[in-house]
Chains A and B, each alone.
Chain A
Amino acid sequence: MDELALVRLAKDGDKEALRTLFEENKRKIFALAFQYTKNAEDAEDILQETFIRAYRFLNKFDFQNGVSFSPWLYRIGINCSIDYLRRHRKDREKNSEFGSLENISSDDADSNPEHVRHRKEIREKIDLVLNKLSGRQRMIFILRHYQQLSTKEIADYMNASEGSVKTQLFRAISTVKESLRGLITERDYEMQKL
């Protein structure tokens, strides 16, 4: 059954149709929320909040205007993630103070313990610096870098101009680059030249 038919059924109160619609989108929303919060439990909370909010606003979803359900839901997911982080920012800052390198799991295949530790240090530094970005800046960075949306798509999702998205993205990446300066050397990441 296509998305449109499922939305019609869900609007009429068909819970199975609603569940199918959500199941088809759960991975994408969860990935966004996880990349944004770096925490599986928080990401599950956001996933639930997104779907409950979507259900409550389902009557306002106007599919006759050629709007697809998935991008509409994704936009709700973006807003829920930003709201969630805003509400839980203080707890997260407190927890991150007690974070230690030993708590970070690693699937690094490198057998050199010094190398593994160094990579972990970089990961922790990235987590810390991403936590320090504003919610909106962090979301723009996640959407561009990890969700691989174009700056134009991000601007559409976030009701912003493309220029402002590019500026925020540049600031976010500059902050990350500054925080990693000295930690990342050419030896760590051998890169191809132009």
Chain B
Amino acid sequence: MRCKNYKEKIILYLYGELDEKTKAEVESHIRQCADCAQDFAYTKRVFKALDEAQEGMPEASWEKCWKEIDAGIAEKPRKMKSFFVLPSWAYATAAVLVIFVAGMLIGRFWLNPSAKPPLQPVALSSLSAASYQPVLQNFIEDLKPVLVEYANYSAKKEKETIVMDKEVARNLIIQNILLRRIVAEKNPTALQFLEDVDIVLKEIANLKSSDQQTPSLIKEFIGQRGILFKMEIFKKI
């Protein structure tokens, strides 16, 4: 073994991390090699200096800290509330709907007083295909990274990523509910696609970090239903 390797081993030796055989090898080398013996002695002195540099650990003022923690914890309900707030595109769609309905009312009653009231209530489904397409495409943009990730799932997937996916999935479920209402009568194919996506998203949202089987089932389902393929089609329409 070269001296450079022994220099690495010396550190582990001083931390007591070597097995008996390697420990004996290091000791034997230090007895024979003046350079490594010098390095060993110097490293020990540096360790001592490092230990001395840490003397005098202060105490945390716990009551002060707890006050801050308590205040930080109290902020949680506000954060939780924000989880249920609709995404910005939903507000934009609502605004478009309001303007659309207002425009119809103005057109029928104000600009054309002869028209017969009352008007039929405007259902979400009465939107034209062109008006829900951008919304569907935005939804697909948000959905794609999650589905692609699960479509390429392997058992080595990090737990942290799954936690993040769950939060994204919950948000997408809400978007999906609104979107299904919009496309319900206008586009049965899109509705079927969104229902399949809903199953996938609910599985992801309820996934437990220890669950190794469900991600594989999700991957299988995505493949069977051709969800990625359909997603690309709806994105381009």
Contact = CB atoms under 8 A, between A and B. Distances in A.
Interface stretch (A43-51, A83-91, A93-101): A43-51
Nearest to A22: B69
Interface string A158-194: 0100000010011001101100110010101101011
Contacts of A23: 62
Given A40-B58, A44-B61, A144-B15, A180 B46 contact: yes
B54 A146 contact: yes
Interface in A135-155: 144-146, 150-151
B11 A173 contact: yes
Most chain-A Cβ atoms within 10 A of its Cβ — which of B30, B45, B60, B163?
B60
A52 B42 CA distance: 43
Contact of A176 (B40, B46, B69): B46
Nearest to B39: A177
Interface in B15-67: 15, 17, 27, 30-31, 40-50, 52-58, 60-62, 64-66
Interface residues of B, number: 45
B179 to A, nearest CB: 28
B11 A169 contact: yes
Interface string B192-213: 0000000000000000111000
Nearest to A35: B54
A43 B57 CA distance: 11
B73 interface: yes
Contacts of A107: 55-56
A34 B57 contact: yes
A181 to B, nearest CB: 8
B143 to A, nearest CB: 23
A173 to B, nearest CB: 5
B190 to A, nearest CB: 34
A65 B210 CA distance: 8
Interface in B83-126: none
Contact of B65 (A15, A26, A60, A146): A26
